[in-house]
Structure 1
Amino acid sequence: MSHQRARTRAIGLGAGFLALATGVAGCSAAGDAEGDGGDLTLTVTTFGTFGYEDLYDEYEELNPGITIEASNIDTGGNARTDVFTKLAAGGGLSDVVAIEEGWLGAIMEVSDQFVDLRDHGIEDRAADWVDWKYAQATDPDGRVIGYGTDIGPEGLCYNRDLFEAAGLPGDREAVAELLGGDDATWEGYFDLGRQYQEATGKAWFDQSGFVWNAMVNQLPEGYYSTDGELIVDDNPELRERFDLLATAAADGLSAAETEWDWNGGKSFTDGTFATLVCPGWMLGNVTERLEAGGGGAESGWDFADVFPGGAANWGGAFLTVPTTSEHQEEAAKLASWLTEPEQQVKQSTAAGNFPSTLAAQEQLAADATPNPIFNDAPTGAILAERAEGVQAQFKGPDDSLIQESVFGPPLDAIDRGDADADDGWSQAQQLLGELVD
């Protein structure tokens, strides 16, 4: 899973997907760089909340003759479908295409359909990124196919007003301590949720799918071993965590929300649930949905420097250049510029996500800028703390499919009270056999 929600600039996406095409018109120095003597249009496809709108405008101002036509697909899952549909068709991809960490393993199986960015100088920037981010975008043949955008260290979003109404502390430092600080566990998180549920009769978290994703991502190995073998049946920690989560849902801790909707955002304002697992990029989603539900800074949401089970990474993306692009050099220049530390800081300000470049991380930590939506919490500085010790888990080719389509339905059934842990696990095993080779 990854970033969600949609913003569209120049080219819009309706209910379905839109095949994008590159275009050339007029005359400019940018066109001369391509050897065609004309102005140059670069197409870009992202997904979710990337925060690039102002950066596109800035790039156009810095590069007269360049026009950016940008589209945004609503969810990472739909973006995956879009990319692979167009790869199969042999065309239609943008000049710059955002790829999500959860399905990067599948992209690596067709990495030869993306430009080797070493030919465009990415090796000169290798030290910009945390080492594992750069390594993620390197295929088995040593080709580097993606400029890293963000990573997803996780903290806890919580509603301080709901906490205080339940007799719990609302101060973010006290919340972190209450959950165990550096020693926070999922068992402790769910136990506190039972205390909250007993006091209020309301749910503790929004729905089990997001919690499950966070729990899986913390493991040294998740659905795949580090050497690429599918190990769902041979990873006992998966079943242990599944049972732990299923028990929490059966105890009424899940609000059984629809993923990415939250009742049109109203669940953030009406007390439906009190906590949300929050990788950095989720902060932008919460802000958008909170505002859509009629809320804002007064709604009581805060962000604590704590996470059950310790350091975890959920998501993160890359900018790639498909080999079908007719403007590979200029597309690579744009993608590189968008992922430079200065631009990553601006992206973080716009979208709330957390950068993958070291210099940008250090700046956010030093600035400690208050986030008004989250009770002036210094979200960037907190995420810098949460990023300590994070290592991305190996993602196999069907990782996102397993997360969404194998475990998603049984977890939904458990949330609704239509299945218990054994039923849910059996359904997941059946779906695994049907959907994954």
Structure 2
Amino acid sequence: MRRLGFIAAAGTVSALALSACAPAASGGDAGGEYDPEAKVELTITTFGTFGYDELYKEYMELHPNVTIKAKNIDTGGNAKTDLVTKLGAGGKGVSDIVAIEEGWLGEIMNVSDMFVDLRDYGIEDRRADWVDWKYEQATDAEGRVLGYGTDIGPTGLCYNKEAFEAAGFPTDREEVAKKLEGDWAHYFEVGQEYVEASGGKAWFDHGGFVWNSIVNQQEEGYYTKDGELNIEDNADLRENFDLLASAIEGGQSAAQEAWNWNEGKSFVDGTFATMVCPGWMLGNVKGKLEQAGATPETSTWDFADVFPGGAGNWGGAWLSIPETSQKKDAAAALADWLTQPEQQVKQSAAAGNFPSTLEAQETLASEATPNEWFNGSPTGAILASRAEGVVAQFKGPKDSEIQEKVFGPALQVLDTGEGDADAAWDKALGLLKEIVK
């Protein structure tokens, strides 16, 4: 769960605004030499389920002179809107540290000079900490590094054990993995089997998340590697769209509202049986289970080491420092600490996401800690397995908007039964012309 098409949505960034945020002299906060012992208040904005609350407390205990004022925005899309609006106003009100989501990092690259080059704060010394493509993703065309990598998004399959059992399906996660091993066509074949065996219940929550996972597995998604739009005449993309449309028409989608799932009730009443789950999604599922009144003891969900079509990455984030920050050194120290392997392990325990540092990945794989919300499944170890072979896809400037505002509404046409695959695809292409001009 990146270019500057986004700024247009919030108002054009004028040359004056950009120059007002031009990079300061490297290494050092505005207003004088950095004093690591001086009292400082740092602001940080994240989104979704980041798992940082206890880490903030720990950092303030280790650094009594630092006060952290944290803001968490509910979704990555809303966080993008918040950041874009503030950047469009010349950076006024932007936090000292902001979390940047994988889906819109490309837009940020179009205004990379509004963010600190972290090479000035020693990030090159840590380059080997991360999987190589994570570091490279946050490096702009001039070689400036804009973000400390937090998590990545290897993806497994969440499934409702109770729903599987009622349909006569295996419930042991290893047996589930064997049954579902294969491509997306096989996943939908098993899904149709489930719909029939369950008396018409849905196989997955809604078409949007499934589609995003399918697109992320393509060698090239909504954009080619050269940054060209890659949708209208993309035969492979259309073939996959038709495959998903057929599954939806067969009753496999529960037509859920993204990020809501009937206020979590759909996770406890058997509305759907499976769900695509990148690591960070586990925290969302846990939160919705809690909202619906479930406990670890009553949760019927599990997590299997399998995913249709093989390895795939969905999401991930970075911590970046805007040039408007007057506390760059202190902000860099905090962002660096939050993304160290030891802290990434703790973040994973709190949020369920999967770290981008190699040492933290190895720790999770070796510890195989049971996740009480997913039937004791060793989610960290499973995600380490799912991460093998993962390389993030190039995301173009309007990638997140295309997913949300083009294919989101188009797939609703299918989910709600308002049209067939042709009607939904035509709607997508029409919306595409409005979004990408």
TM (norm. structure 2) is 0.91
What SS does structure 1 have at the residue aligned with 2:88?
A: helix
Q: Secondary structure at 1:143's aligned position in 2?
A: coil
Q: Is contact 2:109-2:140 (8 Å) kept?
A: yes
Q: Deviations over 1:40-77 (max 9, x none)?
A: 00000000000000000111111121000000011101
Contact 1:302–1:374 (8 Å) recurs in 2: yes
Paired residues of 2:407 and 2:428 also in contact (CA < 8 A): yes
Question: Structure 1 residues 353 and 37, CA, compared in 2 at 3 Å: closer, same or farther?
Answer: closer
Deviation at 1:353, TM superposition (A): 0.2
Identity value in percent: 67
> Do 1:410 and 1:419's aligned partners in 2 also have CA atoms closer than 8 Å?
no
Cα offset, 1:291, TM superposition: 1.1
Say yes or no: does 1:262 pair with 2:261.
yes
Hey, what's the Cα distance between the residues in 1 that align with 2:319 and 2:390? 21
The 8 Å contact of residues 304 and 382 in structure 1, kept in 2 or not, is answered as yes
Matching residue of 1:315: 315
| Structure 2 residue aligned with 1:14 | none
- Tell me the SS of whatever aligns to 2:223: coil
Query: How far did residue 399 of structure 1 move?
Result: 0.2
Deviation of the 1:35 alpha carbon: 5.2
Partner of 2:70: 70
**SS of equivalent residue, structure 2 residue 277:** strand
Residue number in structure 1 paired with 2:188: 190
Aligned-residue offset at 1:164: 1.1
Residues 260-290 of structure 1 show CA distances to partners (whole Å, capped at 9, x for unaligned) of 0010100000000000000000001000101
Task: After TM superposition, give the deviation of residue 92 of structure 1 in Å.
Answer: 1.1
Q: What is the letter of the counterpart of residue 219 of structure 2? A: P
Query: Using the alignment, how far apart are the partners of 2:190 and 2:290 within structure 1?
Result: 28
Query: Aligned runs of 1:46-195 on 2, under 5 Å?
Result: 46-90=46-90, 91-180=92-181, 184-195=182-193
Secondary structure in structure 2 of the residue aligned to 1:274 = strand
What corresponds to 1:286 in structure 2? 285
CA 1:129–1:36 in structure 2 vs 1: closer, same or farther (change >3 Å)? closer
Q: CA deviation at 1:235?
A: 2.1
**TM-score, length of structure 1 as denominator length:** 0.91
| Alignment partner, residue 390 of structure 1 | 390
Is 2:275 aligned against 1:276? yes
Could you tell me which residue of structure 2 aligns to residue 27 of structure 1? none
Structure 1: 5+ residue stretches without partners: 3-30
Match of 2:335 in 1: 335
Cα drift, residue 234 of structure 1:
3.1
SS at match of 1:370: coil
Residues in 2 aligned to 1:97 and 1:236: alpha-carbon distance in whole angstroms: 38
Alpha-carbon displacement from aligned partner over 1:216-245 (angstroms, at most 9, x marks no partner): 000000000011111112322111111111
Q: CA deviation at 1:38?
A: 4.8
Deviation at 1:199, TM superposition (A): 1.1
Aligned alpha-carbon RMSD (Å): 1.4
Change (3 A) 1:348 1:195: same
Counterpart CA distance in 2 for 1:173 and 1:281 is: 22
Matched position secondary structure for 1:332: helix
Partners of 2:37 and 2:65 within 8 A in 1: no
Q: Deviations over 1:139-158 (max 9, x none)?
A: 00000000000000000000
**8 Å contact 2:220–2:393 — kept in the other structure?**
yes
CA distance in 1, matches of 2:51, 2:338: 11
Deviation, 1:36, is: 10
Unaligned runs of 5+ in 2: 3-30
Instruction: Number of aligned residue pairs: give it.
Output: 406
Q: Distance in 2 between matches of 1:299 and 1:124?
A: 43
Q: Which residue of 2 aligns with 1:371?
A: 371
Change (3 A) 1:433 1:36: same
How far residue 391 of structure 1 moved from its aligned partner, in angstroms, is 0.5
Is residue 36–residue 330 contact of structure 2 (8 Å, CA) maintained in 1? no
Partners in 2 of 1:35 and 1:349 — Cα distance? Answer: 33
| Residues 37 and 151 of structure 1: CA distance in aligned 2, closer, same or farther (over 3 Å) | closer
AA at the equivalent of 2:184: W
Q: Is the 8 A contact 1:268 1:295 kept in 2?
A: no
Name the residue aligned to 1:253: 252
Q: What is the SS of the residue equivalent to 2:266? A: helix
Partner SS state of residue 204, structure 1? strand
What is the deviation of 1:161? 1.3
Query: How far 1:299 sits from its partner (Å)?
Result: 2.6
Q: Is residue 44–residue 98 contact of structure 2 (8 Å, CA) maintained in 1? A: yes
- 1:209, 1:92 → 2: CA distance? 33
Deviation string for 1:97-135 (max 9, x for gaps)? 000000000000000100000000000000000000000
Give the conservation status (yes or no) of the 8 Å contact 1:159–1:274: yes
Contact preservation (8 Å) 1:32, 1:38: no
Q: In structure 2, how many angstroms separate the alpha carbons of the residues matched to 1:50 and 1:233?
A: 35
Q: In structure 1, what is the Cα distance between the partners aligned to 2:123 and 2:103? A: 22
Secondary structure class of the residue paired with 1:299: coil
Query: Cα distance, 1:407 vs. partner?
Result: 0.5
Distance 1:33 1:72 in 2: 30
Give the C-alpha shift of residue 294 in structure 1.
Answer: 1.4
